Amino acid sequence: MPSIATRTGDDGTTSLLYGQRVPKDHPQIEAVGAFDELNVALGAVKPLLADDANGAATRDLLTAAQKNLVALMGELACAEADTARYAASKFEKISAADVTRLDDAVATLEARGFKFDGWATPGANARAAAFDFARVAARRAERRLTALPARGRSVRQEVKQCVNRLSDLLWLLAREAETSEAAGANRGATARR
């Protein structure tokens, strides 16, 4: 098996998808890196989910989001000159259906009637904090994404929408985690009396 250490990046460059070399701090590489961090943050939330139907549904939603992130990173990792080539490729791409899935998940959570005013104070419990950490990673990645057009790299509308909805979803999931664990703790205290 070949070594992961190719040494081709020793000069401070890396390859885009179809072989073009760019500096490791190139805006597209910064964006791909931010989405890679988000992918890891989503993975870190999954072990904290409950082993019930709600936890399984959230785990499935996060796994689908992670698959979208892999597709997004592939799309961002090609040069502007190669976007048509990428569009014609067999690689998975974020679609309107992916945005709809996130919209539906946001609507489902909002329908539960969470009450919130102003800024959240993360850290009520480990799961809520993990969702908030993923949320801020999503917003950082979104900032890197929205900076690309000014630097000559177009971004499809579905990609921007998907990232924005994912950030919103993670905020709601953090608030749900705060609420559900607080309710569980109150029920437990009542039962112990």
Q: What is the residue-averaged pLDDT of the chain? A: 88
Q: 100 pLDDT exceeds 70?
A: yes
Per-residue pLDDT at 10: 67
How does residue 181 score in pLDDT terms, banded at 50, 70 and 90? Answer: low
Per-residue pLDDT at 153: 95
DSSP letter for 151, please: G
Contacts of 149 (CB under 8 A, 6+ apart): 155
Q: 9 pLDDT exceeds 90?
A: no
Residue-wise pLDDT for 52-90, tens only, equals 999 999 999 999 999 999 999 999 999 999 999 999 999
Q: How far apart are CA 9 and CA 175, in angstroms?
A: 41
Q: 141 pLDDT exceeds 80?
A: yes
CATH number of 14-104+123-192: 1.20.1200.10
8 Å CB contact between 128 and 177: yes
